[in-house]
A and B are shown apart, each in its own frame.
Chain A
Amino acid sequence: MRLLNRSAGRLSRHRRGPVAGLLVILLGLLMAGGLFAAFSSSATAENSADGLTQSQKIEAGRKLFLLSCATCHGQNGEGVVAENGESNLGPSLVGVGAAAVHFQVETGRMPMAATGKQAPRKPAAFTEQETEYLAAYVASLAPGPAAPTKTDYDLDAVKGLSADEQRDAIVRGGKLFLTNCTACHNFEGSGGAMPWGRYAPPLKGVAKQHIYEAMLTGPQQMPVFSNNVLTPEDKRDIIAYIYSVNDKKQTPAYGGFGMKGLGPVAEGLMAWLVGIGGLVLFAYWIAAHTARTHKKEDA
């Protein structure tokens, strides 16, 4: 303590000196600059690929947006209200965040090819880089959910989990999946019907990141499962469960051919086509081979 007091006292003697103000300003500037560099480090790190600063990316994104999105979402992403004054041609994108852009654009849902009940999944129209610019622009409109990192959505990427912990996470994810997801997406994620031609799309073959972003942003018919409702760990475990059930390496098709996992209607169809259909053919075959009533001459 004495040492500290003595050095503080020495420092204090210079507090009114001529260089003190200059030093403080210098220190402040260094701190501010350092903090900025620290906070925007990820941006600058990614910049290295294309050599663009964040503001340049936003500008590039704005140009793409004006070209491909503004017709429906408005020139500033404020949305376009239809003539009846009630429905939207395209909703406002203020505050949807980068996560929504990643999901909609990378799964090809946006830009829509045609208006309809629901934007279908299709090949993506933008490159990864263009998507990044668009996301940067939309995220700049207002704060919103950012794109998740790999450890957010991928249980395998989380380090330090034992095999048991990993299994328990999947079991937990299964419970959450059966509680929150199956009502629309079917028991193994085969998808399901919604009113008036809308649908909950199949989850098989969807990237883990996109499932996470869909839960986070609630695209189209889907409700938002914010991080208060399903924590990032919940989301990660649900994704792990979906993958564990559908990944043939982790879970073999125990019962055999699963008929797309559509449930009893497909099974019934199979019972008629293969079961009864096959057995009737066999009956026909048996009846067609009638008994010989006479022994063959040479037998």
Chain B
Amino acid sequence: MTDNVAKSNGTTPAAVPASGLAAKGSAVVKWADDRLGLATSQKKMIRKVFPDHWTFMLGEIALWSFVVLLVTGVFLTLWFVPSMGEVQYQGSYDQLRGVEMSQAYASALDISFDVRGGLLLRQMHHWAAMIFIAAMLVHMMRVFVTGAFRKPREVNWLIGGVLILLGVVEGFAGYSLPDDLLSGTGLRIADGLIKSTPVVGTWMSFFMFDGEFPGEAIIPRLYVAHVLLVPGLILALVAAHMLLVVYHKHTQWAGPGRTEENVVGYPMMPVYAAKAGGFFFIVFGVTALMGGLLSINPIWKYGPYDPSKVTAGSQPDWYMGIAEGLLRIMPHWETHIFGTTWSWNVFLPGEVAPMILLGVMMMWPFLEAWVTGDKAEHHILDRPRNAPTRTAFLAAMMSVYGLLWAAGGNDLLATQFSLNMEWITRFMRVAVFVVPVLVFFIAKRWCIALQRHDSEKILHGYETGIIMRSPEGAYSERHLPISGEEAYRLTARARDNVVAAPVNGEVEAKGARAAKLRAKLSTWMFADNVQKPTAQELEEAHHHAEHEHELEAGLAHAADGHQFDGHHDVAGEELRH
């Protein structure tokens, strides 16, 4: 297989027959190439091979929705006025005609009602933002659950984590810009979070708002962050992220001909470029459809921001939902020392907990590498079931995330499902600790059961669903051996190595405690896993199967329709598909 790939990667580009239009085209290309020298530099890039799998396109959703954000965002900057100067609205939305409001809000209303296509572009921008962060998370989950963060990709994993954080900050800044009642309420919460920081909180808040909340500075400042600072950082990190993908080469699933040394797939030009380019238009299309058909952030209904007002159903965009949920379920803990207030009820859920959640996810690759002591490079992905602890950990984290988001919408759960808001809150206080543990164990046992099933398939073949009756009258299900390709796919993984605890001497060796912890973690992570069968086990199983076949053989005729009764050659049978 590797030979095939190598052959197709020629060193010279295919010759173009020089005739008519093509000749003209090639002349232009040659003119450009003589001056820019792109062909030589891009030759390698054009032949770059990417493996094909739908999960490898999730990060692309994030990339393309970011492009949609840039395009629509540029459009919006042409009309948005980032100022808190007071104006009287005189646009075409009747219900607010003559109302005093900030220029930011008035211009956001103008974009919605008086700029041609403005509302569509504004809604596309917002939907793309929601999808951007969701896609980053989905992509991160895929990378996590397949172990694609392992050496040499740890740095790219960290870059991805920073990108998610920046995406959330960028989204929040954008949410705050229109200066409607909802965005102002969001800023008020942000102000509260900042002020809850011990010692420096109030100072930081006054620094950020240039005085008491809300002041006049925050909208222009957020605007600069939203259109210049954060997008610049995101763009730079996206570039670094993708350069590292090119440098490391893309990971691939195990399969015949695929090793840690090669990449099997299609070249960038024309196959992958067409697929990825086409996917951009799909992402753009879905965003445009959502922007055109689904209302998002109807700012004209919220009215201008006024610190004395609030509306029921005030919620952040979904990606801030976990912070909102944490705030809502946190008990009221405050300490008063020497006339100062320490707001643990805001500081812990608002600042500490989200950072811990993100931090744990970011640190996992290093924790795992330390426990396994694995220093090898990994380009072949793990199937999620083959890393049960890792997969179960992600499932548990997902359940925390989901629960916290639900807790952030406790008022809506209460009204939509006729529930009691206080009981939802109390339930969540317990559930965020209990449910993830349950989810962890269920997911882990599920993975191990799937591993066991894989082993069964390797050793005894797959279940055909054909029930055989022996001459004695006993019933059994016929198993057939799996294909060589499948067997390769199932067995292409290393055996887990459980690190043993150090033997206790009289004097505790240096670092013994860490070693003990490492052994414990290793047992926790890998001891229960089902390892792939050894060659000896496989041989025994096959021998056993042959023996069974001999026992089952003997009938002179095939039962009606039962061509799998062990008397016939089944090599050409179709049932295995």
Contacts and interface: CB of A to CB of B under 8 A. Distances in A.
Contacts of A175: 99, 303
Nearest to B128: A275
Interface in A256-284: 256-259, 261-272, 274-276, 278-280, 282-284
Contact of A263 (B303, B310, B314): B314
A39 interface: no
Contacts of A117: 420
A258 B298 contact: yes
A245 interface: yes
A283 B295 contact: no
B57 A178 contact: no
A256 B292 contact: yes
A282 B293 contact: no
B95 A170 contact: yes
B318 interface: yes
Interface stretch (A10-18, A62-70, A143-151, A286-294): A286-294
Interface stretch (A47-55, A79-87, A190-198): A190-198
B114 to A, nearest CB: 12
Interface string B305-328: 010111111111111010000000
Contacts of A196: 420-422
Interface in B401-458: 405, 408-412, 414-416, 418-423
Contact of A286 (B57, B112, B314, B415): B57
A258 B414 contact: no
B300 interface: yes
B60 interface: yes
B187 to A, nearest CB: 14
A255 B119 contact: yes
B96 interface: yes
Contact of A193 (B113, B298, B308, B414): B414
Which of A195, A255, A256 has the most B CB atoms < 10 Å from its CB?
A255
A128 interface: no
Contacts of B286: 274-275, 278-279, 282
Contacts of B296: 255, 267
Given A276-B61, A287-B53, A262 B313 contact: yes
Contact of A255 (B57, B94, B278, B298): B298
Interface string A27-58: 00000000000000000000000000000000
A241 interface: yes
A179 B99 CA distance: 13
Contacts of B317: 264, 267-268
Nearest to B296: A267
Given A265-B318, A268-B318, A275 B138 contact: no
Nearest to A201: B415
Contact of A244 (B95, B306, B319, B423): B95
Which of A168, A265, A284 has the most B CB atoms < 10 Å from its CB?
A265
B52 interface: yes
Q: How large is the interface on A (under 10, 10 to 19, 20 to 34, 35 or more residues)?
A: 35 or more
A279 B283 contact: yes
Contacts of B131: 271, 275-276, 279
Contacts of B310: 182-183
A275 B130 contact: yes
Contact of A192 (B95, B119, B415, B423): B415
A171 B303 contact: no
Contacts of A282: 279, 282, 286
Which of B130, B266, B321, B405 has the most A CB atoms < 10 Å from its CB?
B130
B549 interface: no
A90 to B, nearest CB: 23
A254 B118 CA distance: 11
B294 A257 contact: yes
B290 A275 contact: yes
B60 A283 contact: yes
Contacts of A200: 312
Contact of A280 (B56, B113, B138, B414): B138
Contact of B112 (A199, A254, A261, A284): A254
Which of A199, A254, A256 has the most B CB atoms < 10 Å from its CB?
A256
A184 interface: yes
Contacts of B99: 171, 174-175
B135 interface: yes
Contacts of A190: 312-313
A262 B412 contact: yes
A161 to B, nearest CB: 14
Interface in B333-370: none
Interface string B127-143: 10011001100100000
A184 B315 contact: no
Given A256-B292, A272-B134, A275-B127, A199 B321 contact: no
Nearest to A167: B94
A258 B112 CA distance: 15
18 contacts: A117-B420, A167-B97, A170-B95, A178-B306, A178-B311, A182-B312, A190-B313, A193-B414, A197-B418, A255-B123, A255-B295, A259-B295, A263-B412, A265-B412, A267-B297, A270-B290, A282-B279, A283-B58
Interface of A: 117, 167-168, 170-171, 174-175, 178-179, 182-188, 190-197, 199-200, 241, 244-245, 251, 253-259, 261-272, 274-276, 278-280, 282-284, 286-288, 290-291
Given A192-B313, A245-B301, 7 more contacts: A183-B310, A187-B182, A191-B312, A251-B94, A266-B412, A272-B318, A279-B283
By Cβ-Cβ distance, the 7 closest A-B pairs, closest first, are: A268-B318, A192-B312, A255-B295, A271-B130, A287-B54, A193-B411, A197-B420
